[in-house]
Amino acid sequence: MSVDDNRDVITFYGFYTNDWTFTFGDFSNTHYLLDREYISDGCGTLDASRATLTRFLYPHHIKKTYFLEGVIRGHITLAASGCSSTVTSYKVSVGKIHEDTTDTTMATTNYVTVDKTLSYYTVGNGVNEEVVYPFWIDVINEQKITDKERIYVKVEFVAESTVSLYHSNSSNWEDLKIELPFRL
């Protein structure tokens, strides 16, 4: 007899909203959000951030109780920002934040060494060379998430000089995309 455990893979996109914030746990008035769809391209958004650590919050609960289990996959986009720079490593983590601000990392790539020089060309308005880094994380031990917790994606990178994490609100680019496997 087979038992259906209601598995689902949900795709999330990360972006920064100018005119909307959300507060949960230690995410205080965050503009960095995850959503299942892109919002209207008429909405005010920021295309990139220069911080070397950025967290994107999914502000809703999916069910009262659900589990992260399976293979997480996705990609991030990094680009030179104002000058040429070398990215030496990056790390992507999926965590959960509890309403009391306790924080748990549920899965991570750990640091991935890349040592990639990104060029910046000063001709005209300047052109940033960008690179898309894919990642896969195998979550073998299920991670329980409740309605008192929210999931987030944290992107970290190490670079010699100024590099930006792209997070455009555009389905043409899909700068920050992640597929999370859930048992519902």
Residues 179 and 70: beta-carbon distance below 8 Å: no
Residues in CB range of 149: below 8 A, 6 or more apart: 61, 96, 97, 98, 99
Distance CA 54, CA 76 (A): 12
> Are the CB atoms for 159 and 84 separated by under 8 Å?
no
Give the mean model confidence (pLDDT) for residues 69-76: 98
Hunting for tokens 């949960």 — which residue is that? Answer: 24
Does position 131 have pLDDT exceeding 70, yes or no?
A: yes
Reported as a pLDDT band with limits 50, 70 and 90, residue 100 is: very high
pLDDT for res 126: 57
Report which secondary-structure segment, H or E, holds 154: strand 149-159
State pTM to two decimals. Answer: 0.93
Can you give the pLDDT at residue 106? Answer: 98
Q: What is the pLDDT of residue 123?
A: 64
Asked if residue 34 lies in contact with residue 12, where contact means CB atoms within 8 angstroms, the answer is yes
DSSP class of 10: E
CA torsion angle for 111, 139, 10, 96 (degrees, to 10)?
A: -70
Which of residues 178 and 4 earns the better pLDDT score?
178
With contact defined as beta carbons under 8 Å apart, do 10 and 68 qualify?
no
Rounded to a whole number of angstroms, the distance between the first and last alpha carbons of the chain is 20
Q: Is residue 144 over pLDDT 90?
A: yes
Tokens of 75: 């990609």
Give one DSSP letter per residue of 169-182, joined into a string. Answer: S-TTT--SEEEEEE
Residues in CB range of 60: below 8 A, 6 or more apart: 150
* Average pLDDT of the residues in 67-87: 94
Residue 1's pLDDT is 42
Domain boundaries, the chain: 8-49+57-79+91-112+131-153+166-183
Compare 77 and 4 and report the one with higher pLDDT: 77
CA distance to 50, 56, 120, 127, 128, per residue, from 123 (Å) = 21, 33, 9, 7, 11
To which H or E segment does residue 43 belong? none
Average pLDDT score over residue span 133-145: 97
**Mean pLDDT along residues 110-130:** 83
Reported as a pLDDT band with limits 50, 70 and 90, residue 2 is very low
What CATH architecture does domain 8-49+57-79+91-112+131-153+166-183 belong to? Sandwich (2.60)
Mean pLDDT computed over every residue of the chain: 92
pLDDT at 181 over 60: yes
pLDDT at 3 over 80: no
- Note the pLDDT of residue 83: 87
Per-residue confidence (pLDDT) for residue 111, from 0 to 100? 97
